């Protein structure tokens, strides 16, 4: 079908503006979801509000902005009682802009031609990559075909290097419009070392550009949404923290954070969590839903009740909601301009639901003919955005058919030349694979972080809770970029009650009085959603804040595992060192609680120590907790900081307070008891149990040495080697389950590298391979006790 025939099918009559309707109140009157054509797609949903005049690209028309919510009252007396404390970051009333979208957002003929060039370029790059994949010259291909119109429009409405971008893999046209070159995209396809997206470490179409503010994208669908919210929230908090206002060199007063997703991704829980926070804080996040009707082979009506995501979210407060035909370039441009202007004016987030097509299969690993009938695929092809816009330009007299063909020929030559350059570019050197797992600039294992020896202690002895709390206070006072949030960690979210209540400060009181001292802009509660906590923190850290977040119990860290393993830990490596997110996650862990049971007693540290890029720290006493947490906050890597709940208030591990610069480097173990007959290598709650067992064994004439690792990733191999060479017998003791636990790696390495120094096999002491029970007698049987350690000592000594 020719471009002009397509035009006659879809072009609106001249002089007619797109119809606008309020969201239907009568659900029965809503039209059923359809795939028949754009007539049912270009119905923006707008909540009733005062009219705001503006112009569409070609026609005058009026749009409506969503109303601002009623302001939440905040007690001025509470704020006055705490000088310098910022108001709690609740949604605030902001006046609607007088004009949304500028005085005249109309496109000139030159701009329309530029729009077409970018759309056609994006399509030709997809086609070229498909050709290269079929020739076995690249290894993967996933296209953005059918999405070009809405994406070029998005790029035109936003500012590269000014706004922030969290795209997904269909967003080729957006990245081109922002300034990424065809060569840069093809360098990713061939896996070149020069690929600016990932330097050959990620699949093609995983976008990233430091200069354009395109934050490195990953493969899991939906994980980018919470990070985008955190990115926008960083700008929000920079405005509230008075010490940072003059330091915000990479923050703009009216910046927008763009994030895109497909219709399938809207089924992810993190999609709803991101809307929750963006709307609650009125953050300038522009959500673009590129709805092509399929999540690989699953159609949208199977994914979504009613088959229409935007109908489900229309009651979110502060959300400016628009629907459009994403294959219509001019309509897309008008919608994206208004959505961006709404965010830029400080009114809150915007959500654009663009109906697009997927003329190619999901990827070259998929064959859509297996699940899509010919009729449906033909109907999509007739709505091809590149053909449609070309026909518009010809009909409007912007360009002739011959001139349009010359543009196509010029772009084809450009793509071919870029392809030749990309294929000739060098591949990454194998020696580079270990680069950027951790920070190349800040080494937390170095002497710079070692102020332990000779540190002068003072004051009355405090518990582990006390010394962690002191560290948080001093580090927040030292660095205004440190922010603390999590579930229940604030003293009181409703600031007007702060003077009337003692304050929560965490379920274990570790964060007590932080909010009172540093204000609600820096210390605040999160929703009950662990992925929300870690995802937002990752976005904030990308912008230069230093989030120290709390996961209330280790047992509930698993909803955040996607964010920890696939995003936080790998961000620096997958981007070739272009991006980083040095978040500290404080997590109460462990059993021995008498009543903790299955879901308040878990350990499982080996799950995290095997994640490259993640530091894992586990102190056994108050002083170590203070020094190691300070190192965690000042280092440049993501850190999982495990705090054993049973050790929080034990008298035997108390300490006086160290100086404010007291630090213990990662990877430095401590010998807590000297011995000659055998060694116990341990950490956490097993340190004290091993000490008690060693004193009992001493009555039998067995002299036991005990090494507290303190840091599990990295760990102090030199200390391990020294104690094995010294005693020639070794036990590895930990609270984790015995099988596949952390101790297995230590034992295996000792057997492999120090076998000649061993007089007996390496022994391990750990929990039973089951869960922790509620009844105390069962818990005692499951977790390793002093008696278990004593038995291992006796058997190993007599071997």
What tokens were used for 293? 């009707």
Q: How far is CA 506 from CA 110, 151, 463, in A?
A: 59, 44, 16
Query: Helices then strands (H, E): number in the chain?
Result: 26, 23
Classify 185 as helix, strand or coil. Answer: helix
Cβ(729)–Cβ(743) below 8 Å:
no
Cβ-count burial 621-643 (b if 16+ within 10 Å, e if not): bbbbbbbbbbbbbbbbbbbbbbb
Q: Whole-angstrom Cα distance, residue 167 to residue 249?
A: 24
Helical (H) or strand (E) element with 174:
helix 172-178
The Cβ-side half-sphere exposure at 158, using a 13 Å CA radius, reads: 37
Question: Token digits for 216?
Answer: 């490195």
Residue 203 structure tokens: 């699949």
150 — phi, psi (to 5°)? -65, -30
Residues 6 or more apart in contact with residue 755 via CB below 8 angstroms: none
User: Tokens 């005058």 label which residue?
Assistant: 60
d(CA 8, CA 730): 82
Angle of helix 385-395 relative to helix 109-134, nearest 10 degrees? 150
**CA–CA separation, 570 and 637 (whole Å):** 11
- Token pair of 747, please? 């034992």
Q: CB neighbours of 395 closer than 8 A, spacing ≥ 6? A: 4, 7, 11
HSE on the CB side for 642, CA within 13 Å?
Answer: 31
Instruction: Please check whether residue 189 is in contact with residue 199, taking contact to mean a CB–CB distance below 8 angstroms.
Output: no
Tokens coding 276: 């929750």
Give just the sign of the alpha carbon dihedral 771, 784, 564, 318: positive
- Cα–Cα dist 133/125, whole Å: 12
Report the distance separating Cα 568 and Cα 224, nearest Å. 11
**Spatial separation of the C-alpha atoms in residues 497 and 503, rounded to whole Å:** 9
CA-based nearest residue to 692, from 620, 594, 766, 785? 785
Catalytic residue among 199, 206, 600, 734: 600
Cβ count within 10 A of residue 373: 9
Comparing CA positions, the residue from 658, 624, 661 lying closest to residue 641 is 624
Instruction: Name the nearest CA neighbour of 480 among 180, 723, 241, 697.
Output: 241
Backbone angles phi, psi at 8, to 5 degrees: -65, -25
**Which uninterrupted H or E stretch holds 722?**
helix 717-727
CA distance 220 to 279: 24
Q: How many CA atoms lie within 13 A of 486 on its CB side?
A: 29
What DSSP string describes 374-392? HHHHHHHHTT-HHHHHHHH
| Secondary structure element (H or E) that encloses residue 42, with its range | none
Contact 322, 314 (CB under 8 A): no
Residue 568 carries which DSSP code? I
- Is 600 annotated in the active site? yes
CB 315 within 8 A of CB 377: no
Q: Which of 599, 545, 602, 577 is nearest to 735 (CA)?
A: 602
Q: Could you list the active site residues?
A: 600
């Amino acid at each position: 079908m020719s471009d002009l025939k397509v035009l006659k099918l879809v072009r609106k009559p001249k002089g007619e503006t797109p119809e606008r309707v309020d969201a239907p109140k009568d659900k029965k009157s809503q039209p059923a979801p359809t795939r028949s054509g754009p007539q049912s797609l270009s119905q923006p949903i707008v909540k009733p509000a005062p009219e705001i005049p503006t112009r569409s690209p070609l026609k005058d028309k009026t749009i409506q902005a969503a109303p601002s919510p009623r302001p939440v009252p905040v007690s001025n007396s509470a704020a006055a009682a705490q000088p310098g404390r910022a108001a709690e970051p609740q949604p605030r009333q902001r006046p609607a802009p007088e004009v949304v979208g500028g005085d005249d957002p109309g496109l000139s003929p030159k701009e329309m031609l530029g729009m077409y060039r970018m759309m056609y370029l994006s399509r030709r790059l997809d086609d070229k990559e498909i050709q290269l994949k079929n020739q076995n010259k690249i290894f993967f291909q996933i296209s953005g075909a059918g999405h070009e119109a809405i994406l070029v429009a998005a790029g035109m409405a936003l500012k590269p290097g000014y706004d922030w971008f969290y795209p997904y893999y269909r967003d080729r046209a957006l990245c081109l419009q922002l300034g990424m070159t065809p060569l840069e995209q093809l360098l990713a396809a061939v896996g070149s070392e020069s690929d600016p997206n990932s330097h050959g470490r990620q699949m093609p179409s995983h976008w990233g550009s430091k200069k354009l503010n395109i934050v490195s994208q990953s493969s899991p669908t939906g994980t980018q949404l919470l990070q985008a919210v955190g990115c926008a929230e960083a700008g929000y908090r920079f405005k509230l923290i008075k010490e940072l206002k003059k330091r915000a060199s990479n923050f703009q007063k009216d910046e927008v954070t763009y994030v895109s997703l497909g219709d399938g991704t809207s089924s992810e829980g993190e999609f709803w969590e991101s809307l929750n926070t963006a709307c609650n804080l009125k953050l300038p996040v522009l959500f673009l839903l590129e709805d092509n009707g399929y999540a690989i082979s699953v159609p949208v009506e199977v994914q979504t009740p009613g088959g229409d995501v935007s109908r489900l979210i229309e009651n979110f407060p502060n959300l400016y909601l628009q629907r459009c035909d994403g294959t219509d370039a001019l309509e897309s441009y008008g919608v994206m301009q208004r959505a961006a202007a709404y965010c830029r004016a400080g009114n809150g987030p915007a959500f654009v639901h663009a109906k697009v097509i997927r003329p190619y299969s999901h990827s070259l690993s998929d064959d859509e003919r297996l699940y899509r009938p010919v009729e449906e695929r033909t109907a999509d092809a007739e709505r091809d955005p590149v053909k449609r816009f070309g026909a518009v330009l010809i009909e409007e007299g912007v360009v002739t058919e011959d001139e349009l063909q010359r543009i196509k020929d010029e772009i084809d030559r450009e793509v071919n030349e870029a392809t030749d350059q990309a294929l000739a570019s060098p591949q990454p050197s194998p020696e580079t694979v270990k680069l950027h797992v951790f920070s190349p600039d800040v080494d937390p294992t170095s002497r710079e972080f070692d102020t332990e020896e000779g540190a002068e202690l003072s004051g009355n002895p405090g518990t582990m809770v006390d010394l962690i709390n002191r560290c948080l206070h001093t580090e927040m006072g030292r660095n205004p970029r440190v922010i603390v949030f999590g579930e229940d960690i604030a003293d009181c979210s409703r600031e007007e009650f702060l003077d009337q209540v003692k304050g929560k400060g965490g379920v274990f009181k570790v964060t007590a009085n932080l909010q009172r001292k540093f204000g609600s802009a820096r210390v605040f509660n999160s929703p009950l959603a662990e992925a929300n906590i870690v995802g937002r923190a990752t976005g904030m850290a990308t912008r230069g804040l230093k989030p120290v977040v709390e996961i209330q119990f280790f047992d509930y860290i698993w909803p955040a595992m996607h964010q920890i393993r696939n995003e936080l830990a790998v961000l620096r490596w997958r981007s070739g060192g272009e991006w980083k997110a040095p978040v500290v996650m404080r997590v109460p862990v462990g059993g021995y609680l008498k009543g903790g049971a299955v879901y308040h007693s878990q350990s499982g540290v080996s799950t995290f120590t095997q994640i490259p890029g993640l530091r894992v720290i586990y102190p056994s006493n108050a002083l170590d907790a203070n020094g190691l947490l300070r190192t965690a906050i000042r280092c440049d890597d993501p850190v999982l900081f495990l705090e054993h709940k049973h050790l929080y208030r034990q008298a035997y591990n108390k300490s006086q307070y160290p100086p404010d610069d007291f630090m213990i480097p990662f990877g430095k173990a401590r010998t807590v008891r000297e011995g000659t007959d055998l060694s116990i290598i341990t950490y956490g709650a097993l340190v004290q149990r091993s000490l008690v067992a060693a004193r009992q064994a001493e009555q039998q004439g067995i002299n036991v040495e005990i090494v507290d690792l303190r840091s599990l990733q990295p760990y102090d191999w030199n200390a391990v080697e020294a104690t094995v060479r010294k005693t020639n017998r070794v036990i590895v003791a930990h609270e984790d389950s015995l099988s596949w636990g952390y101790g297995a790696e230590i034992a295996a390495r000792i057997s492999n590298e120090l076998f000649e120094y061993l007089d007996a096999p390496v022994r391990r002491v750990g929990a039973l391979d089951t869960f922790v029970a509620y009844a105390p007698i069962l818990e005692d049987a499951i977790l390793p006790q002093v008696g278990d350690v004593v038995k291992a000592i006796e058997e190993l000594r007599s071997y």
